Amino acid sequence: MASAFSATAKFAQPLPLNTTSSARSQDKLSPPALFDPFRTSSSAATSPFLGSTRQLLCKSNRPLSHRRSSSSSAVVAISDVKQKKPKSSSNLLITKEEGLELYEDMVLGRSFEDMCAQMYYRGKMFGFVHLYNGQEAVSTGFIKLLTKDDSVVSTYRDHVHALSKGVPARAVMSELFGKTTGCCRGQGGSMHMFSKEHNVLGGFAFIGEGIPVATGAAFTSKYKREVLKEPNSDHVTLAFFGDGTCNNGQFFECLNMAALWKLPIVFVVENNLWAIGMSHLRATSDPQIYKKGPAFGMPGVHVDGMDVLKVREVAKEAIGRARRGEGPTLVECETYRFRGHSLADPDELRDPAEKAHYAARDPISQLKTYMFENKLVNESELKAIDKKIDELVEEAVEFADESPVPDRSQLLENVFADPKGFGIGPDGRYRCEDPKFTQGTAQV
Amino acid sequence: MDRDNRVCVMGEDVGHYGGSYKVTRGLADKFGDLRVLDTPIAENAFTGMGIGAAMTGLRPIVEGMNMGFLLLAFNQISNNCGMLHYTSGGQFTIPIVIRGPGGVGRQLGAEHSQRLESYFQSIPGIQMVACSTPYNAKGLMKAAIRSENPVILFEHVLLYNLKERIPDEEYICNLEEAEMVRPGEHITILTYSRMRYHVMQAAKTLVNKGYDPEVIDIRSLKPFDLHTIGNSVKKTHRVLIVEECMRTGGIGASLTAAINENFIDYLDAPIVCLSSQDVPTPYAGTLEEFTIVQPAQIVTAVEQLCQ
C-alpha cells in the first residue's frame, strides 16, 4: 500500500512506558525514543531484543532440556547458541550432508524469489507477489525437519514454504504465471499455494486466516491417534505467520485452543518487524511476542531468525515436543525481509541503517561462513549447488512459459467437490450435466 | 456418527451440555469428548479449525450456538470454506456442515433473531439448505454430512419442539431438491423454514375461501431447485414468495430474479415477495409480530394476486 506517513513517523516510535532501557535517539525529529533497536542495553532485565543477538535474561539461564518442565515457567529465551567455534567436529550442529541440504534449500528460496521479481517486472506474473528474501533461515530451519506427512500452513508469503516442503519449483512458478500446470491449476496464484501431496495447506491472503486451519490439521492428527486409534499418527503442523498477525484475534483464539487440547502444532512467528508500513513497535503494546505463549500455558521461545542453525535447534525441540504429544510451542523468529512487503511496495519507511544491519546477517552467508570455518564443505561444492539451483530455476521458468493458460472449460470445475452443488436447472437436469458445463459456458 | 467415525461435532456447549437446544444430547457420553468437542467461545477460530480438520480428512459438523454467532466466523466461512476447494485447484475438499438455530424466536431481541441466509448466499462454493420438519431435518442433515461440499444447514429456533413420525430405516433428502408440500392450481407459494407453517395456516383459510394454493418448501436456498419451481410456475402462472429473511438482498430477492429470468413467459402477474421488515427485530412482542410475515398478510396477498 502507498505510504502516507509524515516524516516524523519514519522511525520506531517510543515503546510503552514500562521499558527501562535508555538509549540515544537516532532521529532528531521525534521525541527521544525510549527504545532504540540498534543499541543493546546494559540493563539486564529488559534487554531489547530487536536487532540484538544478546542473551535475553529471564528468571534463570536454564539449559534447553529443562525448559519445558512447567507451563508456569516464565518466558524462556534461547541464548546465543554456539557463539564460539567448536573445538571438535562432534560439537557441530550439523553434518556435512545436512549442511548442504540446508544451503541448497536456502539458495533455492533466494534464487526463486529473485527470479519472481524479474518475472514480475517483465510482466509474466501479476497481482500481489510477496517475496521472502532474507527470511530463508526460518523456512529452511523448520521445514527441513518435517516428514512428508507433516503439514505446513503459511500466509501470502508462501513460495519458499512450499518449496522447502517439497513442492517442485516448476509447479510453483507455473502457478505464479497462472498456468494450468501450476500446483493449484493456476486458480490460486501467489498467495494460495496448496499441495495435497506435500501437505502444504495454503497460502492465505488474509492474515491470521491460516492459523485456525493449521489448528484444525493438528486436531485431525490428534483425532486420528485417539479416536481412530491409528497409533502412528503423530503428524505435526507448523503455522507460519508474521508479527502483524500476533495482534489479531484468531492468533490468540488458536493459542488458547491448541494449548487447551495439547494439539501437535508449532506456531512460528516470522517477526520481520514490519507489517507493510506498520512497525511492530507502533502496533503492539508488548512487542515481545514470545511472552504470549506462557500466557496460554505453552512455552514461548525467541530465536535469532537470521541464523538457520539456531532456528533448527529450536525447531527440533518444538517439533519433538509436538510429536510426543506434549502440546504446542510458540516460537518467535526475529528475522527481516530484504525486499518490500510486496513487489508493489516502494519500501520507503524502513531505515537504510536497519536494512544494512540485517543485510550483514544474511542467513545464507552466515551458513556459508559456518561451514567453511568448520571445514564441512569447500567452495566448489557450494558453487556446484549454486549452479544447480540456477539451472533448476531457469528450467522452472521455461516450463512455466511453455505451459498452457487455463482454458474456459476450467472455469466451473473445482468450485464444488460435488458439482451437483450447482443445482437443478429448469429442465430437470443438474446444471453440471449440461454439456456446456465442461466447456465453462453453462448457466449456473 | 455411528456409520463413519470421521464424523465429529464441534461447537459451544455441544458436549456435556448437550447443545443449547439439546440437538447433540447424549452424544458426548456415547462418543467421547474429542468427537463431540466443547469449544471455547471463539467462533472464527473453531470454524477455521473445522475447516482445517475437513481438509485433512475428518468430516466435522460445526454448530453455531445461535446462527447469528456465525457472523463472527464469516471470514472463515467465506474465504476458506467456500473458496479453498477452488483456489487449491481441487486438491482439498471441505466436507464440513455448519449448522445452528436461527430465525426470529419469541422476543429474543435483535441479535439473537438473525437470519443469515441472505448474507451467506453470495459465497461461491457453499450450499445452503433450510430444514422445516423433523423428517427433512434428519434427511437433510444426513445428506449434508455425506456431501463432499461445504453445506450450511439453517435450523429455526421455534421448530425444535415439533414432533413427527419418521421412518426407522435410513433415508436422506436430496440437498438440491425442493419439497412439494401441497399441490394446487391457482398460485405457487414458495417458502422455507418456519414460514412454511404460516403459509399452511394461511392455506387453510384460503381453501375455505375457495382458493387452491400450491405450496412448495424450497429447502435448498442455494442453489434453487428451478425444476420443481419452474414446473409449478408453468402450472399456476402466479408466484408468491413468503420468507422470514429481510427484504433487501434476501433469498426472496434472489428467487424473484431467478424466476423472472427463467420463466417470465409463464407469469400472468408480477412476483410478490413477502419478507420480514428491514428492521432489527424488536424485543417487544407486538412489534416483533409486525416484523415478520403473518398468515393474514399471506391470505391478503394471495387474494390480490389471484384477482
Residues of A in contact with B54 (CB under 8 A): 216
> A97 and chain B: CB distance < 8 Å anywhere?
no
Give the mean pLDDT of chain A: 82
* Residue range A106-123, pLDDT digits in tens: 999 999 999 999 999 999
- Closest by Cβ to B44, choosing from A153, A249, A418: A249
pLDDT at res. B140? 95
Question: What are the φ/ψ torsions at residue B130 (nearest 5 degrees)?
Answer: -125, 125
Whether the predicted pLDDT of B221 surpasses 70: yes
- Residue B49 in 3-state DSSP? helix
* Residue range A378-390, pLDDT digits in tens: 999 999 999 999 9
> A430 and chain B: CB distance < 8 Å anywhere?
yes
Establish whether this prediction's ipTM goes over 0.85: yes
Q: Are B251 and B259 in contact (CB under 8 A)?
A: no
Distance from CA of B90 to the nearest CA of A (A): 5
User: Is the Cα dihedral B26, B29, B30, B34 positive or negative?
Assistant: positive
* Residue range A30-57, pLDDT digits in tens: 343 333 333 333 333 333 334 333 333 3
The answer to whether the CB atoms of B52 and A206 lie below 8 A apart is no
The DSSP 8-state label assigned to residue A273 in this structure reads: S
Burial label, A188 (beta-carbon count in 10 A; 0-12, 13-18, 19+): buried
> A127 and chain B: CB distance < 8 Å anywhere?
no
Whether the predicted pLDDT of A263 surpasses 50: yes
pLDDT at res. B1? 87
Distance from CA of A213 to the nearest CA of B (A): 4
- Residue A274 in 3-state DSSP? strand
Whether the predicted pLDDT of A242 surpasses 90: yes
> A250 and chain B: CB distance < 8 Å anywhere?
yes
Distance between CA A210 and CA A238 in Å, rounded? 11
pLDDT at res. A90? 55
Mean pLDDT of A65-69: 38
* Residue range A157-190, pLDDT digits in tens: 999 999 999 999 999 999 999 999 999 999 999 9
Distance between CA A297 and CA B104 in Å, rounded? 40
Give the mean pLDDT of chain B: 93
pLDDT at res. A211? 96
Confidence class for position A11, pLDDT limits 50, 70, 90: very low
pLDDT at res. B61? 96
Distance from CA of B125 to the nearest CA of A (A): 5
pLDDT at res. A4? 38
Distance from CA of A425 to the nearest CA of B (A): 5
pTM for this prediction: 0.86
pLDDT at res. A344? 86
Question: What are the φ/ψ torsions at residue A166 (nearest 5 degrees)?
Answer: 120, 0
Which of A88-102, A154-168, A412-426 has maximum average pLDDT?
A154-168
* Residue range B163-186, pLDDT digits in tens: 999 999 999 999 999 999 999 999
Which of B63, B64, B62, B42 has its CA nearest to residue B53? B62
> A211 and chain B: CB distance < 8 Å anywhere?
yes
In the residue annotation, B43 being an active-site residue is answered as yes
Whether the predicted pLDDT of B290 surpasses 70: yes
Which of A348, A283, A274, A355 has its CA nearest to residue A6? A348
Mean pLDDT of A17-35: 36
In the residue annotation, B112 being an active-site residue is answered as yes
Whether the predicted pLDDT of B194 surpasses 90: yes
β-pairing, B220-222 with B127-130?
antiparallel
Mean pLDDT of B8-19: 91
> Any idea what the Cα angle at residue B33 is, between residues B28 and B39, rounded to 5°?
105
pLDDT at res. A133? 93
- Closest by Cβ to B88, choosing from A188, A223, A444: A188
- Closest by Cβ to A217, choosing from B45, B52, B79: B52
Which of B99, B57, B25 has its CA nearest to residue A223? B57
Q: Which residues of A48-57 are buried (b: 16+ CB within 10 A; e: fewer)?
A: bbbbbeeebe
Whether the predicted pLDDT of A60 surpasses 50: no
